[in-house]
């Protein structure tokens, strides 16, 4: 989590600093156009990455993988970042890991039960800015038909007129979703690490 608080990369356009630092503050004079530019609705590009890892007893190792099929949109509210929102769907059958046996197991009824629950969805309920280039998104995660409130930390990494990129991190406890298999050998906590690129619509 501490990594989210790092200062924004120097390569980022200065206007963007203004965008996030002063979102919702109308008296910005010359920098106002950038704000208008970033505001809008974005489609989550398939070039985004959704990676996860689960630690194991004794430290080193564990399960790591990614999902290759997902879709979603988000809207950045230019007037009030807190009014921004995101909808995200991923398809657990697209899970990728170090070997087929692990992928099959993750798809099976023991974990995602991908046959009966084809999607994992996230709908934001609240967005709050936490720093010049960071925010927290709270929302409803639905896995295996069970919905719970989860929180993810967002950090802006890149931005131009047509696209915007974030890293998104979050820790999700899997037991409430009925996915206790493998505990305590494998941690109950799944760490998500995503690079989400939005294509402006």
Partner 1 sequence: MLRNSKDRFGTVTIVLHWTIAVLILGLLLTGLVMRRTEIDPALQFSLYQWHKSFGFIALGLAALQALRWLVERSPAPPPTLGPMEQMASRAAHLSLIALALLVPLAGWAVASASTLAIPSFFFNLIVIPHLPLPRSETSEAFFALAHATLAYATLALVAVHAAAAIYHHFLGRDEVLVRMLRSGSAPRPDSTISAPEKDDTLVERKRR
Name the nearest CA neighbour of 24 among 68, 70, 78.
78
Count of residues engaged in binding partner 1, rule: CB under 8 A: 16
Query: Backbone phi, then psi, for 177, in 5-degree steps?
Result: -95, 10
Question: Among 47, 109, 125, 130, which residue sits at the site for partner 1 (rule: CB under 8 A)?
Answer: 109
Residues 29-58: x/- map of binding to partner 1 (CB under 8 A)? Answer: ---------------------------xxx
The distance in angstroms from the start CA to the end CA of the chain is 31
Q: Per CB under 8 A, does 145 bind partner 1?
A: no
Q: Per CB under 8 A, does 176 bind partner 1?
A: no
The answer to whether 148 and 139 have CB atoms below 8 angstroms apart is no
Q: Per CB under 8 A, does 182 bind partner 1?
A: yes
Q: Per CB under 8 A, does 185 bind partner 1?
A: yes
Q: Per CB under 8 A, does 98 bind partner 1?
A: yes
Q: Per CB under 8 A, does 61 bind partner 1?
A: yes
**Number of neighbouring beta carbons within 10 Å of residue 87:** 15
Please identify, using beta-carbon distances, which residue of 161 and 173 lies nearer to partner 1: 173
Name the nearest CA neighbour of 11 among 113, 160, 190.
160
d(CA 52, CA 16): 29
The answer to whether 163 and 16 have CB atoms below 8 angstroms apart is no
- Pick the piece of the chain touching partner 1 (CB under 8 A) from 26-34, 45-53, 166-174, 176-184: 176-184
Residues at the contact surface with partner 1, assessed by CB under 8 A: 56-58, 61, 98-99, 101-102, 105, 108-110, 181-182, 184-185
């Amino acid at each position: 989590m501490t990594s989210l608080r790092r200062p924004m990369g120097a390569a980022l356009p200065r206007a963007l600093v203004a965008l996030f630092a002063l979102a919702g503050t109308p008296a910005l004079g010359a920098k106002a156009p950038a704000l208008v530019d970033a505001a809008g609705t974005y489609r989550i590009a398939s070039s985004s990455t959704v990676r996860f890892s689960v630690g194991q007893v004794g430290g080193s190792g564990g399960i790591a993988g990614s999902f290759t099929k997902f879709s979603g949109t988000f809207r950045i509210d230019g007037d009030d970042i807190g009014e921004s929102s995101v909808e995200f769907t991923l398809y657990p059958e697209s899970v990728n890991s170090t070997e087929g046996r692990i992928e099959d197991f993750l798809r099976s009824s023991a974990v995602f039960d991908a046959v009966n629950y084809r999607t994992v969805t996230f709908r934001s309920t609240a967005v709050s800015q936490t720093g010049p280039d960071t925010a927290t998104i709270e929302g409803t995660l639905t896995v295996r038909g069970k919905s719970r409130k989860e929180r993810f930390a967002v950090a802006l990494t890149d931005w131009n007129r047509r696209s915007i990129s974030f890293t998104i991190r979050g820790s999700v406890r899997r037991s409430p979703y009925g996915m206790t298999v493998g505990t305590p050998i494998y941690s109950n906590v799944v760490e998500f690490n995503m690079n989400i690129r939005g294509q402006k619509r």
